[in-house]
Structure 1
């Protein structure tokens, strides 16, 4: 217990909002990851490298925390990490647009993930730095469930009287659909969303069927740009917005991927790399460094 308004690393905030605490590993873990990123960018100077570290609810919606909650300043950790990155890595910062839209539901009230709106706004906020011009009117928004009770409910033990709505953004252009290849599962899908997941507890898995070692997404785009996304689960709601801008997107989760990343880059003819993680997971996880250092 952190205090009377917290349980198992989860704060009970205003309006029954559950907010995961920020509990980073010692600084040397992040320094090792940073060194691996810098070395990897130097090793692949011909690729466009983009680094996106997403702040969590504990930072963006801190006003919902219980009074006097003893939390670390997540922004300080993000700033310290990104300022030490190699100049070959373009840092994408979604914080300004998220902070400008604090009155919107950017994070689920019962789960540690951002909402699809949070991902969409962030995409619009960083797209220009990626050389992308998104169409703000490209999607129709559909609610696919109003009964999402997220992971923070079971983690904290708090009885939440709220459930969340999950929205998906479907392209208005019917010709812009993609084919998703779940490589290790030897399964293909014509949708970035899996409605079967809405029948289970982890309804956030509606996005790309949850986490997989490797996914390949072929898009109806013939521009010769192939993107590698190295990510955690926050990317699952973000990746659909990238599909109109890349011929093929390869997605790996370093927590489950054990093959050679250099061979993958060559085989998939990668032109761009996006490293996308949320800060809570990123500063607690050490799996990215060995994936990048696969010599």
Structure 2
């Protein structure tokens, strides 16, 4: 009897499915999603064994069911009553190079009109990164203070359904900080960024933070350093709208993203900050070339300093009795440095990826009071960057 009931229920469901499939398709439902209806894929050995036919056929069946919009709405209602609201997203695999010449696999998540890197931690390179900073703790003269700031990315502050697709950046930062010498002052940029995660602190189409996000990193550093952060509201702002960042070119054109706006703070409104770029020649000698803090000819992240440079020397003529800070940096520092120079006499940016000299040369030339190592978290999974950072100080 039970078998008859089971068979009867199955036949009833099969009959209902055939009837619904035989009725005219709900084309308006497909049009509302701004796409064309799926068609039956070709049947051959490649499509069958690769799974392409199965996936395509399922899409064809789903699109050609009558009353599709009503069925979809009913399904959403059931999900909401269960306390679950489905999310949409797309995962894209590509390659990543942070500027060291080494390429690694990279996974991007596209959700909420935003393109985000998905972080996978690496215990081995975490130790390498900590070892590199500990080298500076060992070798720097005792009168020079040393700080470390590891910056998380925006996926860390998204809803759990997105955030949990990656490894915990908070756990990774805590792990790295726990491996550092007691001499190193660890900067909690994570905390302030988390508190302000509802603000426009990261770009939607780029992997960098905005100048507003960098302000919270700067404030966290000043809290640790013992200084006083300037008030961002004291500065006028400018905007460059319709900006499409680095990630936009790495995803397909059908991905839904919203263009960014570069909002910059007019820190050098009265031209009190002098900025000079330096590089080294084939003899290891430093030579200078002109540069600007805000490159108004650029309508992307290169608005800040034009690009990365081996050495950037910044002087605040309003703070002649201030301290000198040397920053070992990646590109995240480009938007941070304009805030830093407001609290120092000199800020010297050194990029280990493209500076060919020795760090002792920097110490001899600038006699800094403090050294700050600033990197965003993805540099901690690149062994070659960790090696460049460590070997800079021979």
Settle same-fold status: TM greater than 0.5: yes
* 1:291 positional shift: 3.8
Partner of 2:57: none
Name 2:296's counterpart in structure 1: 195
- After superposition, the Cα gap between the structure-2 partners of 1:138 and 1:285, relative to the gap in structure 1 and judged at 3 Å, is farther
Q: Compute the displacement of 1:285 (Å).
A: 5.0
Greater RCO structure (CA 8 Å; 6+ sep): 1
Q: Distance in 1 between matches of 2:380 and 2:146?
A: 17
For normalisation by structure 1, the TM-score amounts to 0.88
- Indicate the residue corresponding to 1:269 in structure 2: 367
Question: What is the deviation of 1:289?
Answer: 3.3
Give the C-alpha shift of residue 63 in structure 1. Answer: 4.9
Matches within 5 A, 1:167-206: 167-171=263-267, 174=270, 177-184=272-279, 186-189=288-291, 191-198=292-299, 203-206=300-303
Aligned to 1:165: 261
1:256 matches 2:354: yes
Decide which moves more: 97-106 or 165-174: 165-174
Q: Indicate conservation of the 8 Å contact 2:109/2:115, yes or no.
A: yes
Distance of 1:285 and 1:148 partners within structure 2: 32
Match of 2:198 among 71, 96, 103: 103
Structure 1 range deviating more: 117-126 or 43-52: 117-126
Which of 84, 91, 96 aligns to 1:6? It is 91
Q: SS at the partner of 2:133?
A: helix
Aligned length: 282
Query: 8 Å contact 2:128–2:383 — kept in the other structure?
Result: no
Structure 1 segments of 4 or more deviating over 4 A? none
Superposed CA offset, 1:107-131 (max 9, x none)? 1111111111111122223312112
Determine the C-alpha separation between the residues in 2 that align with 1:4 and 1:71. 14
Q: How does 1:225-236 map to 2 (within 5 A)?
A: 225-236=323-334
CA distance in 2, matches of 1:41, 1:281: 19
Task: Report the secondary structure of 2:149's partner residue.
Answer: strand
Question: For residue 315 of structure 2, what is the aligned residue in structure 1?
Answer: 218
**Uncovered stretches (5+) of structure 2, i.e. residues with no partner:** 1-87, 94-106, 280-286
For 1:284 and 1:155, the matched residues in 2 are separated by 20
TM normalised by structure 2 equals 0.67
Considering only CA atoms, is the larger Rg found in Structure 1 or Structure 2?
A: 2
